[in-house]
Amino acid sequence: METTTNWIPNVHPLLVHFPIALLFAAMTIELLGFTLKQYYKYSFVTDLLVWGGTLFGVVTLITGLQAANSITSISPDAKAAVKSHELTAIIMLSFFILYSVVRIFRYRYRNGLKSITIILIFLIGCFGLIGIYKTGEKGAKLVYKYGIGVSKSNIKSSTLLYKKDSIAARDSH
């Protein structure tokens, strides 16, 4: 049986989707609460999702930094792209740590907050999602443009399989 360590150089790609999914789900569910005029019914769930997404973000950043430190012999452009992704990830994690603290206070003082404050907190979270998207885009660029984290043998065999599947699909029509 093939183990994960045989084909993947680090766990960062396995973990990276959790904070993204949790944070996007938090804002989506919060929007649902606003739409249904049942904000307080959904607010604790969204708080848990934000806090969980932030905690997963810490683990994901640590594994990403370990992954970046394990990269050897790459082009200067690729190295700059790694540093850019790293910096964006650190900024976004810092943002969501602060946002999580704000949400702790929002939860603690939820009964005394005005609607405009609650909406402003939500919009700040949505703004953070743009940064998460940009961070993910930079990570995808590392893989798909520079081939970082992908072994050449996997690229060749995947390309070969893709070509065989494409030919088979074309010939079946």
pLDDT in tens, 18-60: 999 999 999 999 999 988 888 878 888 999 999 999 999 999 9
The mean pLDDT of the chain is: 86
Q: How far apart are alpha carbons 162 and 160 in whole angstroms?
A: 5
pTM, to two decimals: 0.80
For residue 158, name the pLDDT band (cuts at 50, 70, 90).
Answer: very low
Q: What percent of the chain has pLDDT over 70?
A: 82
Tokens 């074309």 belong to which residue? 170
Would you place residue 157 in the very low, low, confident or very high pLDDT band (cuts 50, 70, 90)?
Answer: very low
What average pLDDT does the segment 119-123 reach?
92
The pLDDT assigned to 39 comes to 81
Model pLDDT, residue 70: 87
- Check residue 29 and give its pLDDT: 95
**Which value, in Å, is the radius of gyration of the alpha carbons in the chain?**
20
Query: Tokens 């940064």 identify what position?
Result: 131
Closest CA to 26 of 56, 3, 61: 56
Tokens 């399989």 found at: 161
Helix axes of 76-108 and 115-144: crossing angle, nearest 10 degrees:
160
Domain ranges within the chain, ordered by starting residue = 4-172
Q: ∠71-72-77 over CA atoms, to 5°?
A: 85
* C-alpha pair distances (Å), 55 with each of 40, 52, 98, 115: 23, 5, 12, 27
Measured over the CA atoms of residue 108, residue 45, residue 85 and residue 130, the dihedral's sign is negative
**How many C-beta neighbours within 10 Å does residue 166 have?**
10
Beta-carbon contacts of residue 102 (< 8 Å; ≥ 6 apart): 121, 124
Q: What is the mean pLDDT of residues 133-149?
A: 93
pLDDT in tens, 64-103: 999 999 888 899 999 999 999 999 999 999 999 999 999 9
